[in-house]
Structure 1
Amino acid sequence: MMRSMSSAVTSLKNHQTKMDVIGNNIANVSTTAYKAARVTFKDTFNQMVRGASGTSVDRGGINPSQVGLGMTTNSIDNAMDPGNIDSTGIGTDVFISGAGFFEVKSADGVFYTRDGNFTPDEEGYLVTRDGRFVQGYQADANGNIIETKDRIRIPLSDIKEPRATKNVTLVGNLDSRAGTGIAKMPTDIKQIYNIIPDDPTKVPATFGDKGKYSLKGEYSDNEQEKRTSIIGATATFKVYDTLGGAHTIRIDFIKQGTPQDRKYALQVFYVSPDGESMVPADSTTISGIPTNGIQFKADGKLTDDSKKALENFSVKLMTNANINGSEDVNAKIDLTAVTMFETKGEVKPQTNDGYPLGKMTKFSIGSDGIVTAIYNNGDRKALGQIALATFANDNGLMKEGDNLWSPTQNSGDPNIVKPGSGSAGVLQSGALEMSNVDLAKEFTQMIITQRGFQANARTISTTDQMLEELVNLKR
């Protein structure tokens, strides 16, 4: 009879342990990246009442008879499945989509966490909210990742040195409907208008090879004529010198010959800093321009001869070294992607490898863990890369508090990898991992645990009553 009471007592104790785990799970329902724990039970010793026997000639086999002596806790496991994503909009918050842990380091050792609530400290190092350094790979001055694990530093006041333009790529379309020659319209000599009439059919045209506004030499009755080239498209872009000075270049594409010729002449201008005047390019500022213009095929693409002729097309600016001390700009212009179709003409710069002096304004963390500085001149540079650690057995990790884990003999050693490589997941900035506690499941387990505790308490009280009856037999 005492065995039932002993078994019930062990059960009460272990159900209390399970209740402690459930309570801790519920307490951490809002804890970032918390992993819910679960308790499993197992029976303990069993007292043999009668052993088993096999079948004989005159008797069948007998199964063993045993009385259990209670139960105990089998394991307290952690559910390592990832929690849901919680979008925060904070760029330094990082969510791991998939397997892996961040490695963080401080004076008390190296630990691992899935809590990506990071921030730069006063020296620019990326740290957890309790000051542990996030581990990864630092980049050199040119933005190349150094393959040595280290702290990640984000120089918030970083300056990006200017770079002189060497290559510019222009893309766009030249309107195949553009006219040729010079548009002419009468104006009052007392006032020259810069707006071309909306109805071009009422404007007589003459042909010429100039791409500038000009006045006729003869006029009467206070009238003169203003002439302007009929331009298929205009491309305006900036080039930068060695000290970051910006210079504006304009290229006019002027239709030549008949529509069947599909030819355009190129006129290049240097725009003054105030934007009020344009200086035509000459042999000292431009080289490689096709003397016969460029020609398109019937499919709207440049002919092979035009592409070849444009290979050496470049613009050279004779900067005033006495003003800022910069070297001359010599920029190659790539026009091979320009087309000629029947639509609005527009040519814009697609790439420009030059930029002015830039100051870092913010930084971003990519899915591959690369921390990228963003400068106010439009340039970007890698500052470092966050590393991830994977384990052969995540369930073998030990909780250390503060959302930290440490490896054990059963977890295996950490395998440090870059996000997205091997079995490691990818990163998403602006989000954190939520707790994976399922409240519905926890409350269900709470009810089961409560009833189990009550039932075992009833076993004790019933056994006590039976013992009382046994004592009363003496009376």
Structure 2
Amino acid sequence: MLRSMYSGVSGMRGFQTKLDVIGNNIANVNTVGFKAGRVMFKDILSQTVAGVTAPEEGVRGGVNAKQIGLGVSIGSIDTVHTAGSAMTTNQPTDLRIDGDGFFVVRANDDAEMLLTRAGNFTLDSNRQLVTADGYFVLSVDQEPIILDAEVTAFSIGQDGTIMTVTPDGTVPGPQLAVTKVINPSGLEKLGGNMYRMTANANPEASIEDFLTFAGDPEFGTGAIIAGQLEMSNVDLTAEFTEMIVAQRGFQANSRIITTSDEILQEVVNLKR
């Protein structure tokens, strides 16, 4: 009797977590470069009431084990790194990676390198290419990208090379760095559209060993498209459908608890 109540509690907890993840997905439906999350469940260890009996030829057949499940737990909370839709802005510093890879940014010279898919960059008063939060966008030389004072115009190619226009003509400038991540789901979310490398994303949590340019055939990184942004990959239709499933699952598990409580009440009432 009590097992069913605890199973119901575990189910309610699991579906509450699922609703939390769905709510976060819906809240970020218009966040640049956001990747949706999903919750996967797994069953808890079952209680064995009777073990397995092997068959004996000519005597009797085998008997299967009798096991009672003890509920559900969270198996994983995955980040789904499918590509989001492209939004054209025609801003030269808005960048989208068409394919695999991440932009590499850093808060300052002494800070660790972080990753992002959000390419809504700007030029600050020092002519440095920075994120919306002021993080430096790094070049393939692992240095902040700074345009010279004599640059009057620029464009960014698909390989990340910045072609600058100066009084002396058009010359190539810095080249944006991207990095390939073997297991993007292993990245640690930091907020602000930022990710931190972990040992389960790349071997030895290395960014430098996989740092390259856009379109590198060796690492299989995607091309950079200027004037576009990658939007959130959240599918509202799927999220609302999953919300209904989570809501009904929560209600069904709560019914398990109330039903078990009613039966326990009947047992208590046997002696009046």
1:36 paired residue number: 36
Which residue of 1 is the match for residue 139 of structure 2? 136
Cα deviation per residue 1:399-437 (whole Å; 9 max; x = unaligned)?
010000001110112200111113111100000001000
Q: Provide structure 2 residue ranges, at least 5 long, that are not aligned to the other structure.
A: none
| CA distance in 2: counterparts of 1:127 and 1:372, whole angstroms | 18
Structure 1 residue 376 displacement after superposition: 6.5
CA distance, structure 2, for counterparts of residue 468 and residue 417 of structure 1: 67
C-alpha distance in 1 between matches for 2:182 and 2:26: 29
Local SS of the residue matching 2:64: coil
Residue identity opposite 2:215 in structure 1:
G
Q: Counterparts in 2 of 1:352-371, with a 5 A limit?
A: 360-371=151-162
The structure that has the greater radius of gyration is: 1
Contact 1:46 1:66 (C-alpha < 8 Å) held by counterparts: yes
Structure 2 CA distance for aligned equivalents of residues 442 and 111 of structure 1? 29
1:394 aligns with 2:164: no
Distance in 2 between residues matched to 1:153 and 1:375, nearest whole Å: 14
Post-superposition CA distance 1:31-58 (Å, at most 9, x none): 0010000000001121111111111122
User: Which residue number corresponds to residue 334 of structure 1?
Assistant: none
Q: CA deviation at 1:149?
A: 2.6
Q: Is the 8 A contact 1:87 1:432 kept in 2?
A: yes
> 1:221-300 residue pairs with structure 2 within 5 A?
none
Say which SS state the counterpart of residue 150 (structure 1) adopts: coil
Match of 2:229 in 1: 432
Q: Which amino acid aligns with 2:250?
A: F
Distance in structure 1 (CA, Å) of the matches to 2:147 and 2:115: 21
The answer on whether the counterparts of 1:136 and 1:386 sit within 8 Å (CA) in structure 2 is: yes
**Structure 2 letter corresponding to 1:67:** I
Aligned equivalents of 1:38 and 1:392: distance in 2? 20
Instruction: Give, as a single letter, the amino acid of the residue that structure 1 aligns with 2:197.
Output: P
Provide the C-alpha distance between the structure 2 equivalents of 1:124 and 1:16, rounded to a whole number of angstroms. Answer: 47
Pairing 1:411-430 to 2, within 5 Å after superposition: 411-412=201-202, 413-414=206-207, 415-421=210-216, 422=218, 423-430=220-227
CA distance in 1, matches of 2:173, 2:85: 29
Q: Give the C-alpha shift of residue 457 in structure 1.
A: 0.3
- 1:391 is displaced (CA, Å) by 1.6
> Does structure 2 conserve the Cα–Cα contact (< 8 Å) formed by 1:153 and 1:383?
no
Matching residue's letter, 1:362? A
- In percent, how many aligned pairs have the same letter? 45
Counterpart selection for 1:154 from 142, 147, 154: 147
Does residue 109 (structure 1) correspond to residue 112 (structure 2)? The answer is yes
Cα deviation per residue 1:249-293 (whole Å; 9 max; x = unaligned)?
xxxxxxxxxxxxxxxxxxxxxxxxxxxxxxxxxxxxxxxxxxxxx
Q: Is the 8 A contact 1:368 1:426 kept in 2?
A: yes
Supply the AA of the counterpart residue of 1:70. Answer: G
- One-letter amino acid of the structure 2 residue matched with residue 5 of structure 1: M
Helix, strand or coil at the partner of 1:60: coil
* One-letter amino acid of the structure 2 residue matched with residue 394 of structure 1: P
Aligned to 2:51: 51
- TM normalised by structure 1 equals 0.54
Cα-to-partner distance string for 1:5-63 (whole Å, 9 max, x where unaligned): 01100111111001000000000000001000000000112111111111112211111
Is the contact made by 1:126 and 1:151 (CA closer than 8 Å) also made in structure 2?
yes
Distance in 2 of aligned mates of 1:368 and 1:6: 56
Q: In proportion to residue count, which structure has more strand?
A: 1
More helix by share: 2
One-letter code aligned to 1:64: A
Mapped partners of 1:376, 1:106: distance in 2: 32
**Match among 124, 130, 134 for residue 127 of structure 1:** 130
Answer yes or no: is 1:465 the counterpart of 2:256.
Answer: no
Tell me the TM-score normalized by structure 2: 0.94
**Quick check: 1:70 aligned with 2:71?**
yes
Provide the secondary structure at the position in 2 that maps to 1:466: helix
Instruction: Give the aligned length.
Output: 262
Deviations 1:385-408 (A, max 9, x none): 101011221111110100000011
**Amino acid corresponding to residue 134 of structure 1 in structure 2:** V
| 1:81 CA drift (Å) | 1.1
Per-residue deviation, residues 89-127 of structure 1 (Å, max 9, x unmatched): 101000000000000011443210011111111111111
**Within 1, Cα distance between the matches of 2:248 and 2:182?**
38
Counterpart CA distance in 1 for 2:70 and 2:174 is: 60
Counterparts of 1:438 and 1:149, CA distance in 2: 35
- Quick one: distance in 2 between partners of 1:81 and 1:411? 16
Contact 1:112-1:405 at 8 Å conserved across structures: yes
1:440 aligned counterpart, secondary structure: helix
Q: Deviations over 1:356-411 (max 9, x none)?
A: xxxx432111111011112467x211121101011221111110100000011101
Whole-angstrom CA distance in 1 between matches of 2:178 and 2:242: 34
Structure 2 distance, partners of 1:393, 1:23, is: 25
Supply the distance in 2 between the matched residues of 1:404 and 1:444 (Cα, whole angstroms). 28
Q: Which has the higher contact order (CA 8 A, sep 6+)?
A: 2
